[in-house]
Structure 1
């Protein structure tokens, strides 16, 4: 079987092999021939691939229209893509957090601003009863465009007049970190905790954050499954980021359904559950195109 894993554009500045290699090795151990293909240079004919996995499409947020065009093509040409294009499209815009909240899923409180301005910050501070805020673009990754704002901070120029999501700053992240639960075919595989560098609130490794194995509590597992159940399509692979708020209530920070680092190096089974889910989907796609699911 041949599997294409979509990876960053050659000009993408961050190191990505650490995420790709462990996933590709897990698939190769099941007998797959794995080929990395830049998501910005997918060939016209992909019919030789049994599955297409956008597992490392890092940088899609930097050329969002091109990413949406790729998803449109995948759906029109009925690619055997996991996760399916409709789910990837929904997950690309973090405004989905407001949808989850409307469905009763505990999420980090989120205000979506179409053209962010000072009045939006004032509304967020009033609504969240918090002087400290975090703002980020709704289409983003690697903490790009993310800012922490105190009570007297002005709206940054790169955020003004742009679509942004606004959330209260959760101080607990600096103390306990952000928990990531990996689920394959909806079942928990393993978990990690990501902690920011001292004085920071962002947990990404390139910003000094550290990642360690963690135990997922039954409450966290139930929350992750509840959030996935509210998504518009089945997720073969998912990373659910959960944080405790300052009152200790667990809340969804993000559903990473596109290109999440899955931290298979921390999986007790070495990634076997990941591989089983992908192979199971391969059997399914032979019976029912994923574009129809």
Structure 2
């Protein structure tokens, strides 16, 4: 039995996950989906593998989700991707690891005790009139803010990541590249609404399958190759510019893989899952 962990908002599979479940069943493998917050631990432990591909509501209690990963690992549940990759990707400070290794990411600072003076000082030092503040652990754009002098009353406090604002994201959109077992599968571009800067579903984006050049694929591959082990699945999200590709997020926990956009990709994913199980 393969179990896909879902969230309370999407207790039933999205078209992406429905394609994967159908592909697994076509290979004679039992597959189902259950919400991570309300399903007993023993149910996940009894599964042959657990894929946390739709745990999209951990943003409201990140610590609980991290505990969910730990508890399943401690009881011997087979998590795919592996727990060590999930934990590393859980904190967006992984972007600093990428930057230290020479990979292109937005300039990012980790403020462990953010305050208005600390944020203002850092923005002034960098010459930024606008910046983006992100929770260290979150997903789907929850808690992400564009900040400037006009909204100082809404500046975050506590532990945050402060990033250089990418002012061309509205025009470029965000290109997402799905990798299965470390190999590029397909790309989808998220087209932003006019005036929007957030490339998340709740902000009214639309989607289009796109072809990407070998140079862009190779650039995305470099982020995958940086990891200590090849993930079963990954989504590399970023900006495709004439000057090169810049990573915005590397999604290893619960990415929407857009399998329904690429005929045959769900079968490739299903085969990869079964191969991991030996």
TM-score by length of 1: 0.87
How many residue pairs get matched?
277
8 A Cα contact 1:173 1:244, kept in partner: no
92-101 or 37-46, which moves further after superposition? Answer: 37-46
Aligned alpha-carbon RMSD (Å): 2.2
Pair 1:267 & 2:268 matched:
no
Matched, 1:251 2:246: yes
Secondary structure class of the residue paired with 1:114: strand
Which of 164, 170, 176 pairs up with 1:174?
170
Q: Say whether 1:233 aligns with 2:232.
A: no
Superposed CA deviations along residues 25-49 of structure 1, whole A, max 9, x for unmatched, are 2322322211111111332424542
Normalising by structure 2, we get a TM-score of 0.91
The reply to whether residue 122 of structure 1 matches residue 117 of structure 2 is no
1:276 equivalent to 2:275? Answer no
Find the aligned partners of 2:192 and 2:121 in 1 and give their Cα distance. Answer: 28
**Residue equivalent to 1:286:** none
Q: Distance in 2 between matches of 1:269 and 1:18?
A: 14
Instruction: Decide whether aligned partners of structure 1 residues 249 and 152 sit closer, same or farther in structure 2, where only a CA change above 3 A counts.
Output: farther
Deviation at 1:261, TM superposition (A): 0.3
Cross-structure match for 2:24: 27
Aligned to 1:186: 182
Runs (5+) with no aligned partner, structure 2: none
- Aligned to 1:166, the other structure's residue is in SS state strand
Is this contact kept in 2: 1:19–1:56, CA < 8 A? no
Task: State the distance in 2 between where 1:199 and 1:188 align.
Answer: 31
* 8 Å contact kept, 1:182–1:237: yes
1:165/1:29 CA distance change after superposition, 3 Å: same
Which secondary structure state, in structure 2, belongs to the residue aligned with residue 216 of structure 1?
coil
Query: Shift of residue 153 of structure 1?
Result: 3.3
SS state at 2:230 partner = coil
Judging changes above 3 Å, is the alpha-carbon distance between structure 1 residues 191 and 116 closer, same or farther for their aligned structure 2 residues? same
Q: 1:75 to 1:238 in 2, by over 3 A?
A: same
Counterpart residue number, 1:74: 72
Give the corresponding residue for 1:4.
3
Superposed, 1:48-67 pairs within 5 Å as 48-67=46-65
Greater displacement, 224-233 / 168-177: 224-233
Structure 1: stretches of 5+ with no match in the other structure: 284-293
